[in-house]
């Protein structure tokens, strides 16, 4: 963004020189008279004069457009342009943070209507509490100043992240296999091939044993039945391979986690979502206790603005925010257990968000955004670890949203 402002300023300086050129009024053109002689005609412009006039007008129009872009970008950076063209920083009077206690914050948080799921009212109420100095962490991951009106530019700026960079910057914790995006735990073609061989050979041996051990008529019947097993297996694999893939996954022992450990894993997953979603400024859409797990699950609106809620498409800033929030649950699991096992739905939701973006997001950029979101959420959780652990305990006890907000914003 700074480079754009610099380029715009340079273009303005060059075009200002061009706009200062004046065409000489005494330039004479040669006109042909009816008798064939030529006389000077001061009122008839030459082709070179018309060409210069046209080019100067184009330069002036380009200069005006560049200046508008220059002023717009400067305002987004929190700068103001004086009539003389000088850039000055705009200062926002920041209200000192009040460092309220848990009970004080809870009293303020209870005044916010989280149950209705209204994004506009939630965002407005939390913005006001930040601007008054009562809260400080709401939108702290995206705003560039002490108040929610300090700058319109988001602090979340995605950049390409490789798996090697992700692993290095997370102390070796976040990797492709641990995050579930490396493909190591997926059911591969070789798994289907090996299982098909086992089914065919097993059915053949059973058919032979049936003829050898059982009476002739009964043995022949069972031989035909065993012969149908490979046919049925191949038919299921052709129509619904997911059924076979699920059986292979179950045979590996995946999903046999202890009930209490599974519940704590879910609590850490949801606490990671809530912390990053709150700091990224996403209002809560729903907060309900899952009847199967007994743990509250939080769902956010895809954007915090009223205008964004009415639109079907998402901006690049929205996609950046959703990338962080979507990956935060899996990252929180990895930080505690070295591997995530509950992030499949989050990845699917993130894929759906990519499809809703106003600009096309290719496969390579989607992978970059996914890895960048994991890296950013890791930094947010790690820098607020004490508050995150408090949220984990709150989710274990199924605390209310107001209490969860109090844990984040309260001092102690």
What stretch of H or E contains 289? strand 284-289
Specify if 144 maps to a domain. Answer: no
Mean pLDDT of the residues in the chain: 80
Give just the sign of the alpha carbon dihedral 382, 385, 391, 396.
Answer: positive
101: in domain: no
Whether residue 276 lies inside any domain: the answer is yes
Residues 175 and 318 grouped into a single domain: yes
Residues 376 and 308 grouped into a single domain: yes
Inside any domain, residue 294:
yes
Beta bridge partners of 255: none
> Per-residue b/e over 103-114, b at no fewer than 16 CB within 10 Å?
ebbbebbeebeb
| Dihedral angle over CA of 359, 363, 367, 370, nearest 10 | 40
Distant-in-sequence, close-in-space partners of 352: CB < 8 Å, separation ≥ 6: none
- Tell me which of 75-89, 118-132, 219-233, 327-341 is least confident: 75-89
Closest CA to 275 of 151, 379, 125, 123: 379
Residue 377: how many other CB atoms lie within 10 Å: 30
Q: How many residues does the chain have?
A: 412
> Which pLDDT band, with edges at 50, 70 and 90, does 202 fall under?
very high
* Tokens at 194, concatenated: 């090996």
CB 166 within 8 A of CB 174: yes
Do 337 and 383 belong to one domain?
Answer: yes
Same domain, 402 and 273: yes
Identify the band that residue 60 occupies on the pLDDT scale cut at 50, 70 and 90.
Answer: confident
Q: Has residue 242 got a pLDDT over 90?
A: no
- Considering the domain architecture, whether residues 317 and 215 belong to the same structural domain is answered as no
Domain match, 301 and 365 both: yes
Q: Are 59 and 13 in contact (CB under 8 A)?
A: no
Clarify whether residues 224 and 333 are in a common domain: no
Q: Are strands 87-89 and 284-289 parallel, antiparallel or unpaired?
A: unpaired
Same domain, 291 and 343: yes
In a domain, 129, yes or no: no
Q: Using one digit for the tens of pLDDT, what is the confidence trace for 24-45?
A: 444 443 344 344 444 445 555 5
The pLDDT score that the predictor gives to residue 176 is 84
Query: Is 105 part of a structural domain of the chain?
Result: no
Q: Are residues 66 and 169 in the same domain?
A: no
Looking at the structure, tell me whether residues 180 and 193 fall in a common domain.
no
How many Cβ atoms sit within 10 Å of the Cβ of residue 315? 16
Same domain, 327 and 236: no
Instruction: Out of 251, 284, 303, pick the residue that ends a domain.
Output: 251
Residue 212: helix, strand or coil by DSSP? Answer: helix
- Residue 275 and residue 240 in one domain: no
Structural domain including 335 reads 163-184+257-409
| Residue 388: count of CB within 10 angstroms of its CB | 23
Domain boundary among 59, 89, 119: 89
pLDDT higher than 80, residue 140: yes
Report yes or no on 80 lying in a domain.
yes
Within-domain flag for 312 = yes
Between CA 284 and CA 282 the distance in angstroms is 7
Predicted TM-score (pTM) above 0.75? no
| Boundary (domain end) residue, out of 57, 72, 89 | 89
Q: How many domains does the chain have?
A: 3
């Amino acid at each position: 963004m700074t480079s754009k402002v610099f380029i715009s300023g340079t273009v303005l300086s060059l075009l200002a020189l061009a706009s200062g050129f004046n065409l000489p009024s005494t330039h004479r053109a040669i006109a042909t008279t009816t008798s064939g002689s030529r006389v000077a005609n001061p009122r008839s412009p030459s082709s070179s004069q018309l060409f210069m006039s046209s080019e100067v007008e184009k330069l002036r129009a380009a200069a005006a457009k560049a200046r508008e872009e220059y002023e717009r970008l400067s305002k987004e950076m929190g700068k103001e342009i004086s009539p003389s063209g000088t850039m000055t920083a705009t200062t926002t009077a920041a209200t000192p943070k009040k460092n309220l206690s848990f009970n004080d914050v809870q009293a303020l948080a209870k005044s916010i209507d989280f149950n209705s799921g209204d994004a506009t009212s939630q965002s407005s109420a939390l913005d006001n509490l930040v601007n008054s100095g009562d809260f400080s962490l709401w939108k702290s991951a995206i705003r560039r100043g002490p108040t929610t009106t300090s700058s319109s530019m988001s602090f979340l700026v995605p950049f390409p992240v490789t798996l090697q960079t992700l692993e290095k910057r997370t102390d070796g914790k976040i990797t492709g296999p641990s995050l579930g995006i490396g493909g190591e735990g997926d059911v591969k073609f070789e798994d289907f091939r090996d299982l098909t061989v086992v089914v065919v050979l097993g059915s053949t041996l059973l058919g032979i044993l049936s003829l050898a051990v059982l009476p002739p008529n009964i043995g022949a019947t069972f031989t035909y039945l065993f012969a149908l097993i490979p046919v049925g297996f191949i038919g299921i694999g052709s129509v619904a391979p997911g059924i076979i893939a699920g059986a292979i996954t179950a045979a590996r022992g995946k999903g046999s986690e202890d009930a209490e450990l599974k519940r704590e894993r879910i609590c850490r997953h949801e606490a990671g979502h809530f912390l990053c979603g709150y700091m990224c400024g996403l209002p809560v859409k729903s907060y309900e206790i899952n009847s199967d797990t007994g743990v509250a699950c939080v769902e956010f609106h895809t954007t915090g603005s009223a205008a964004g809620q009415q639109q079907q498409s998402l901006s690049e800033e929205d996609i950046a925010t959703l990338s962080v929030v979507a990956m935060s649950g899996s990252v929180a699991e990895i930080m505690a257990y070295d591997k995530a096992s509950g992030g499949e739905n989050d990845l699917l939701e993130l894929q759906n968000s990519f499809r809703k973006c106003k600009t096309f997001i290719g496969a390579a950029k989607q992978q970059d955004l996914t890895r960048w979101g994991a890296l950013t959420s890791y930094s947010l959780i790690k820098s607020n670890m004490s508050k995150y652990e408090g949220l984990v305990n709150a989710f274990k006890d199924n605390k209310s949203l107001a209490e969860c907000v109090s844990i984040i914003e309260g001092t102690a």
